[in-house]
Structure 1
Amino acid sequence: MMTDQSKSPDLVFPADPPGSESTWRSKSRMSRSGRLASGVRYKNSLIRCIRNIIPKCSRILHIGSGDGSLLSGLEPEVGVGVEPALDLVDKATADYPQYSFHSSEFEGFEIEGKFDFVLIADVLLDVYDIDAMMRKVRVACSPDTRVVVTNYSQVWRPILKFLRFLRIARPRFGNTWFSPGDVRSAFERTGFQLLSERCEVLFPSRLPIVSSLFNRFLSQLPVFRWFCLHRIYVARLDPEPITPKPSVTVLVPARNESGNIPRLMSEVPEMGSFTEVIFVEGNSTDDTWEVLQEAIAQRNDPLYRLIKQPGKGKGDAVRAGFAEARGDILMILDADLTVAPDMLPRFYEAVSSGRAEFANGTRLVYQMHDRAMRFLNLLGNHFFAKAFTYVMGQPIRDTLCGTKVLTRESYNKIVANRDFFGEFDPFGDFDLLFGAARLNMKILDVPVRYGERVYGETNISRFRHGTLLFRMLFVGARKLKFR
């Protein structure tokens, strides 16, 4: 798009697209050939943005692959490019023989196989029929595929026109500027669900310190972000129910909860093809371990199991329990019973229906018991809910509700990408939430009734854990928002 201080050749296009589709496509291909052969710095800034969405070693289908440099910069395990300009396809094939490039119109490609990501980068202005293109994209998608679309902001339209007049930017033929509403409607019409959108690249040229300040920080702040060059959308196929009927593992971390064990043993409902219940005993100072051993022995059910937590903290308990789980859907239920087990089927429905890939409980919708949550805790939960919603880019009403549900497949993906955040979360909530947000999973809040603890004392320290929450917020902001 933007050149590196080079003059663009004299290319003259009609002011309006001609009536003939074939003539329009011919002019568009010529425009792409002249435009996409340069702009190294601009491409590098785009690669930086997309790398935050598409991990290395992914299977990527790139629509509008140009000379192949953007696809190569993402370092895919499998890379396939589609580009209508034949000279760009030839260049990409010569420069990056490890990937496959095909000459085809955006609306007419035929590619076999499914991909982790379909990238549609900066091509909407050149697309003759966006609905036809998106229908082709559907064929390359599985339910886990993420479609990533980058599109120019209309705010930059007069700026780019002026830069082309000064011969600083390349001329282009396409003249279809899609608004954010147009892009969202195209997803909806063609069977896709929008997951997130963010603004990127406030300063498209490279200038030490200034570029980083504008593109990493200011671009994500209110007001400033509306002036970004790009809006990046992430979508998935419209959800479908999981088949066959998925099984369930309910994980119950339990530390100093011996008085709640009888209710837990009797109240966990049956869900799916089978329901496994794993208790992870957290080195209690009371008789929780002994009570659990006796209760499980009396039940004599192989689906009810007990393990001893190897480390400390709820996060460690969750990891230890999920490593032993056999269910297709994984659930976390706190042993304090402030969220009743009979709430779990609504989480199962949200995930098994495909509407959510990660179901997050929220205690802040229904009225609580008078003594269920102290006033300062309530204020803190509301504050952190808004802060983490901003950081993660998806609405999260309650980050600290212990009831969280996701598929085994989603959990395994979070584990595989855990190095991105590192070992930072003693709670276990943010390891999962941040991982799901990083991978653009569909997170859905599920309201729960939050009751008063009837046995034992809370394991939460208001001020010490509040400090840790600010640390979690800083980690999330640095890794997810200002990256």
Structure 2
Amino acid sequence: MHPAFQVKKEDLAATDLTLAVIVPCYNEAENIAEVLRRVQAVELADEIIVVDDGSTDGSRNILHELQEQDIPNLRIIYHEENKGKGAALVTGFAAAESDIILIQDADFEYDPREYPILLKPIYEGITPVVYGSRFLGGPRKAMNFWNMVANKLLTLATNVLYNAILSDMETCYKVFRRELIEDVIIHARGFDFEPEFTAKILKQGVRIYEVPISYNGREWDEGKKIKWTDAPIALWTLVKYRFVD
């Protein structure tokens, strides 16, 4: 990895900025406890906000047990029914009080140990928003070919429509200063969150900063939830918000 990205967490912890990690969770009973342990282990989050989006697989029981342990900085919010990833994130954003928000999926595709890499450009005042890109040379598990094609095409559409040069619009790792979204209404309730959020950030005239991250993608039989049918919805979302406020 380039020396510029070799960051020590103690250097970041010395800043005055606070960090909220938002974790949308739907049917992740096998993963959620370990994911939260890994987030805690990084020791950078002032708030860890889990939004359980109507899980039915036992995730809620695990989260109730974690609540009873009175873990510092951990808050859990429950949706009584499944509303979608976008809805869970909107709930988490509304609950966050920290200066910076970081989105963390409730599985092992993304590694919390890379938070320092993601946070450094914001902490140094270079940018108010950072995306962790899976396509900038970091180590990654070989992705499904058609998933990669869909990602590349949606990112290309983003760049054409919004005059950007992103390499990974669909990445989970989006980190940003909270004031960027204080006056932004997010309508997305599912995986269309990614293109809507990106469109509305770019329409503010904000240039998104990307850093390389690792990626350990999972298969559908391992619980991956995004489907090919989400791609045309994402494309339509990009087009719609290019021309609609």
Query: TM-score per shorter chain, which class?
Result: 0.7 to 0.9
Matched to 2:140, the amino acid is M
Q: Does 1:384 align with 2:157?
A: no
Q: Does 1:408 align with 2:178?
A: yes
Q: How does 1:265-414 map to 2 (within 5 A)?
A: 265-268=36-39, 269-271=42-44, 275-298=46-69, 300-309=70-79, 312-365=83-136, 366-370=138-142, 373-413=143-183
- Is residue 257–residue 456 contact of structure 1 (8 Å, CA) maintained in 2? no
- Is residue 259–residue 456 contact of structure 1 (8 Å, CA) maintained in 2? no
Counterpart of 2:237 in structure 1 is 472
Counterpart of 2:4 in structure 1 is none
Q: Does 1:458 align with 2:224?
A: yes
Rg bigger for which structure?
Answer: 1
How far apart are 1:424 and its partner, in Å?
4.9
C-alpha separation in 2, matches of 1:314 and 1:374? 22
- Gap regions ≥5 residues in structure 1: 1-240
Q: Deviations over 1:65-122 (max 9, x none)?
A: xxxxxxxxxxxxxxxxxxxxxxxxxxxxxxxxxxxxxxxxxxxxxxxxxxxxxxxxxx
C-alpha separation in 2, matches of 1:424 and 1:315? 5
- Is residue 338–residue 450 contact of structure 1 (8 Å, CA) maintained in 2? yes
Counterpart of 1:82 in structure 2 is none
C-alpha separation in 1, matches of 2:141 and 2:213? 12
Q: Which of 200, 206, 213 matches 1:435?
A: 200
Matched to 1:387, the amino acid is A
RMSD of Structure 2 on Structure 1 (CA): 2.3
Matched to 2:175, the amino acid is V
- Is residue 392–residue 476 contact of structure 1 (8 Å, CA) maintained in 2? no
- Is residue 129–residue 176 contact of structure 2 (8 Å, CA) maintained in 1? yes
Counterpart of 1:159 in structure 2 is none
How far apart are 1:350 and its partner, in Å?
1.7
Matched to 2:239, the amino acid is F
Counterpart of 2:21 in structure 1 is 250
Distance change in 2, residues 1:315/1:441 (3 Å):
same
- Is residue 309–residue 316 contact of structure 1 (8 Å, CA) maintained in 2? no
Higher relative contact order (CA 8 A, sep 6+): 2
- Is residue 83–residue 189 contact of structure 2 (8 Å, CA) maintained in 1? no
Matched to 2:141, the amino acid is H
C-alpha separation in 2, matches of 1:288 and 1:470? 32
Counterpart of 1:63 in structure 2 is none
Matched to 2:120, the amino acid is E
Counterpart of 2:9 in structure 1 is none
For this pair of structures, how many residues does the alignment match? 227
C-alpha separation in 2, matches of 1:425 and 1:293? 25
How far apart are 1:425 and its partner, in Å?
5.9
- Is residue 195–residue 234 contact of structure 2 (8 Å, CA) maintained in 1? no
Matched to 2:144, the amino acid is R
Give the TM-score, by structure 1 length: 0.44
- Is residue 131–residue 174 contact of structure 2 (8 Å, CA) maintained in 1? yes
C-alpha separation in 2, matches of 1:327 and 1:254? 20
Identity over aligned pairs, percent? 26
How far apart are 1:433 and its partner, in Å?
1.1
